[in-house]
């Protein structure tokens, strides 16, 4: 653990900035009691917050989809997010906004009359994948759990109900793998917990259309493919496609572009990170280094 990690930092809670080790919300908060809320995770690199407005727009859609009214304007939330990032002072940061339905008169599952809770924090940049994994690729397992159906909770909502995803990780870790891959109701590979998934099939970069969170990094990869002249499309990825793919990888704000080395014990392609991903990832890093789609954090970026 680095010194920086131990710094509790500053957390925004309902309009106030509090030390990270004492910042608190009510134990009766519906986010805690029922997973009743939404969130969004963005990141800063070299002092710029990447695609901040797209993250805020996605958060706003999540809020509307669960009928949760933000107790401030989106512009105020944007300003609070930038201020949280500035106060924490990390040029490379993991930034999370959580909005829950808050507290109701009694701790019952009553969504009426709640006062929403807004929390924002910024930590030194965090990756879902462990150290060194990017260089060797993830060993993955197609889990027995299906992604929660869109008829139950639409996966486009970045909700606080991540138990389905957490349990898929529990299953993958218990079998000695680095990460889970999840299939949808039709058996197509849709996501990994906290990641979108890509396969490179016959030279074309493919990512699923349905049963997914519409990832900002996923869109970024599609944008970069267009820029680099690499064919890409949105379509099905059956387990067959992963077993026979040239390359496969995951994308997330928390980690970037992470190669998949193995699926269910079988190597993907050569079993080592491949050249197409390397090209896209190099372009991603190069774009981040010059502030592409970046919102400068005051004091960290002139």
Q: What is the contact surface with ligand PLP in residues (CB under 6 A)?
A: 41, 165, 191, 194-196, 213, 215-218, 251-253
Cβ distance to ligand PLP smaller for residue 11 or 258: 258
The nearer residue to ligand PLP, 104 or 143, going by C-beta atoms, is: 143
Residue (124 or 267) nearer to ligand PLP, CB = 124
State which residue, 90 or 96, has the beta carbon closest to ligand PLP.
96
What's the min distance (Å) between Cβ of 42 and ligand PLP? Answer: 8
CB of 126 to ligand PLP, least distance (A): 11
Residue whose beta carbon is closest to ligand PLP:
215
| Residue whose C-alpha is closest to residue 248's, from 206, 301, 283, 210 | 206
State the minimum distance, in angstroms, from the CB of residue 246 to ligand PLP. 22
How far apart are alpha carbons 252 and 53 in whole angstroms? 17
To ligand PLP, the closest distance from the beta carbon of 100 in angstroms equals: 17
Shortest distance, position 7 Cβ to ligand PLP, whole Å = 24
Spatial distance between the Cα atoms of 140 and 172, rounded to a whole number of angstroms: 7
Q: Tell the smallest beta-carbon distance from residue 56 to ligand PLP (Å).
A: 12
If 0-12 CB within 10 Å is exposed, 13-18 middle and 19+ buried, where does residue 224 land? buried
- Min dist CB 15 to ligand PLP, Å, is 26
Nearer to ligand PLP, 90 or 114 (CB): 90
Closest CB to ligand PLP among residues 165, 248:
165
Nearer to ligand PLP, 114 or 177 (CB): 177
Asked whether 125 and 92 are in contact (CB, 8 A), the reply is yes
Q: How far apart are CA 74 and CA 196, in angstroms?
A: 26
Compute the distance between CA of residue 34 and CA of residue 49 in angstroms, rounded to an integer: 31
Rounded-to-integer distance, Cα 75 and Cα 92, Å: 23
- Give the Cα separation of 111 and 68 in Å (integer): 9
Work out how close the CB of 212 gets to ligand PLP at its nearest, in angstroms, rounded to a whole number.
6
Integer Cα distance of 260 and 246 in angstroms: 11
Closer of 103 and 122 to ligand PLP (Cβ): 122
């Amino acid at each position: 653990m680095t010194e920086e990690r131990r710094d509790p930092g500053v957390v925004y809670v309902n309009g106030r900035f509090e030390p990270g080790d004492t910042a608190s919300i009510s134990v009766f908060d519906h986010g805690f009691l029922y997973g009743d809320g939404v969130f969004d995770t963005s990141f800063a690199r070299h002092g710029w917050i990447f695609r901040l407005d797209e993250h805020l727009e996605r958060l706003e859609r999540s809020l509307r989809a669960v009928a949760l009214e933000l107790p401030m304007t989106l512009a105020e939330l944007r300003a609070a997010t930038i201020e949280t990032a500035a106060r924490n002072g990390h040029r490379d940061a993991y930034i999370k906004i959580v909005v829950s339905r808050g507290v109701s008169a009694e701790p019952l599952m009553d969504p009426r009359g709640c006062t929403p809770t807004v929390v924002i924090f910024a930590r030194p940049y965090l990756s879902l994948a462990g150290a060194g994994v990017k260089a060797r690729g993830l060993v993955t397992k197609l889990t027995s759990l299906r992604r929660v159906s869109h008829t139950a909770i639409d996966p486009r909502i970045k909700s606080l109900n991540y138990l389905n995803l957490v349990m898929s990780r529990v299953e993958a870790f218990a079998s000695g793998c680095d990460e889970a891959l999840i299939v949808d109701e039709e058996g197509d590979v849709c996501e990994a917990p906290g990641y979108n998934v890509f396969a490179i099939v016959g030279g074309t970069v493919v990512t699923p259309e349905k049963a997914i969170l519409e990832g900002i990094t996923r869109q970024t990869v599609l944008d970069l493919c267009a820029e680099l002249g690499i064919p890409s499309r949105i379509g099905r990825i059956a387990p067959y496609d992963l077993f026979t793919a040239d390359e496969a990888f995951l994308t997330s704000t928390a980690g970037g572009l992470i190669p998949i080395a193995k699926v269910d014990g079988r190597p993907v392609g050569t079993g080592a990170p491949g050249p197409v991903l390397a090209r896209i990832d190099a372009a991603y890093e190069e774009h981040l280094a010059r502030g592409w789609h970046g919102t400068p954090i005051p004091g960290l970026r002139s």
